[in-house]
Amino acid sequence: MLTGPFDSKIRVTEISPMDQPIDRRSQTTAAFIGRALRGPLNTAVPIRGMADFSRRFGGVWSRSSLGPAVEQFFAHGGRQLHVVRVANNARGAMICLPAHHGVLVLRALEPGSTEQIRAAVDYDGIDTADTECFNLVVQRVSPVNGHVIDQEIYRRVSTDPEHKTYIGDALLSSALITLQLPLPAGRPAATMGRHVGHGTAYVGHAQRGSDGSDLCDYDLIGSAAKGTGLFALDAIDRLDLLYLPPLARGQDAGPAALLAAERYCRRRGGMLIVDPPSTWTDAQSAVAGMRQTGYRSPNMLSYFPRMTLRGSDDPSPRGVGGAIAGLLSKLDALEGPWGDLAQRAFAFNRTLAPALGVDGNDLAQLNRAGLNAIVADDSGRALVRGAVTLGRGSESDRQFALLPARRLSLAITNNVERATRWAIFEADGTRLSERVYSQVDAYMQSLAEAGAFADTNYRVQCDAGPKLPPADPARSITVLLMFRPRGCNEQVSVTLHQTISGCRVASTAFAPAACA
């Protein structure tokens, strides 16, 4: 899979080792996109827990719903999460270092009001005859306790663009600061060391950073060419679940962002979790509202109602897409994507309660509209009931109206796509079809034994095409799969077409014959 660009023309492709068994229990990867106090912009950062999120992005922030969503994810069993921070006109803090004939201006790479950067200059180890070079120390300091979190040291650098140790070149690798033009004509004055008459002196902000304005849909969408917003996720190998937390209090992600995210998920083989609008106050308004949205995608899942936080000073219903992502990740780890989410083991924790009750008639209406219902059981624990996607009403996606069927199909195609990528670059084409078939068939057999299918009559067919050199653009490997997910009345048939440029996955209307 593509793991990110080195430049605008070159991409790196990682390939699984040839003939390796396909892991049916590969870990589910979720991604959230939103606003944070600090942290890198437009970068998919792996997060392993709430402490990790707080350290990298500043924790829960009252002006953003990203932190609570991350908290919900890990509280409900999620394990592997990538967070993309986006901002609207946020600005990094600025440091001004007085220099001979000017000022050396440095700008923090990570914008935000809590990003604490400081810098110091000395001439230690530099010959007294050298009036051009200087040493620069840059530190990131915790806004909570003042401890140094990160530090970068640049020795014998110069403000002269023609010098071999030009500071502009040195700072290209910095994770803390960037250089701002114009440059001073001479080096900055020393702030510490033997050239000053006092102890260590770091220069702080001349201008604090800014958190920017509230997000809009286009901040979430970003740019494919620049790798921002949604497209920052191109850098990660796998995407199973995507969630866009509300942009601000009372402001959900709009249609532009959701449609762009659905299209992105369709391309990457992931599911988009969508919060219900706060204007849906009962089951009838939710059903009517779903008709008005016009969403018809098996790669989208939504629910109703929102939930409230027990014991909170804020009684307003809130979106729980982060919690649902955590529950689905937990389900995948314990049973598999074909499992039933409506079990006590996958209930919401007791801090969350449905904002309103849903009876049997409401439940049926919501499920028919493509909405999963959140219902409290006899013990007061809330469960997701329905297991449906928004793929209703489309003849071509009819079999994917069931959430387990769609997620199982995506897991199969994603795993087979990654695991068989090696075959397109295999020099020895002898018996290549049989080798790929054996690899895929063993994987499908393991799924059948785990109970993923309604029956064991799955079928696999592989075709390595004409024998062409591995570098030939016309070379291809085709894998056809047919299976019936557990709980599904219809067969699912898909074709994976591997080429040098990538893999294309399409539904097929016919049943493949078994490979001999």
Q: Would you state the pLDDT for residue 18?
A: 60
Q: Would you state the pLDDT for residue 35?
A: 96
pLDDT (average), residues 112-123: 94
- Tell me the pLDDT band of 508, cut-offs 50, 70 and 90: low
3-state secondary structure of 321: helix
d(CA 494, CA 483): 9
What residue ranges in 132-253 does DSSP mark as E strands?
134-141, 148-157, 177-180, 241-243
- Tell me the pLDDT band of 10, cut-offs 50, 70 and 90: very low
Residue 511 above 80 pLDDT?
Answer: no
300: β partners: 272
φ, ψ of residue 263 in degrees (nearest 5) = -65, -40
Residue 435 above 80 pLDDT?
Answer: yes
Q: Would you state the pLDDT for residue 502?
A: 86
Q: What tens digit of pLDDT does each residue of 48-61 get? A: 999 999 999 999 99
**209: CB partners within 8 A, 6+ apart:** 90, 91, 92, 93, 108, 111, 112, 113, 114, 115
- Tell me the pLDDT band of 234, cut-offs 50, 70 and 90: very high
Q: Would you state the pLDDT for residue 87?
A: 96
Residue 239 above 50 pLDDT?
Answer: yes
Question: Mean pLDDT in the chain?
Answer: 89
pLDDT > 70: what percent of the chain?
91
- The listed range with the strongest mean pLDDT (19-23, 194-198, 268-272, 376-380) is 268-272
Q: What tens digit of pLDDT does each residue of 79-92 get? A: 999 999 999 999 99
Q: What tens digit of pLDDT does each residue of 266-315 get? A: 999 999 999 999 999 999 999 999 989 888 899 999 999 999 998 888 88
Residue 514 above 50 pLDDT?
Answer: no
Residue 428 above 80 pLDDT?
Answer: no
- Amino acid at position 46, single letter: P
Q: What tens digit of pLDDT does each residue of 438-473 get? A: 999 999 999 999 999 999 889 999 998 777 777 677
Q: Would you state the pLDDT for residue 4?
A: 39
Q: Would you state the pLDDT for residue 512?
A: 42
pLDDT (average), residues 189-201: 75
Residue 190 above 60 pLDDT?
Answer: yes
Q: Would you state the pLDDT for residue 436?
A: 93
Q: Would you state the pLDDT for residue 375?
A: 95
Residue 66 belongs to what H/E stretch?
A: helix 66-75
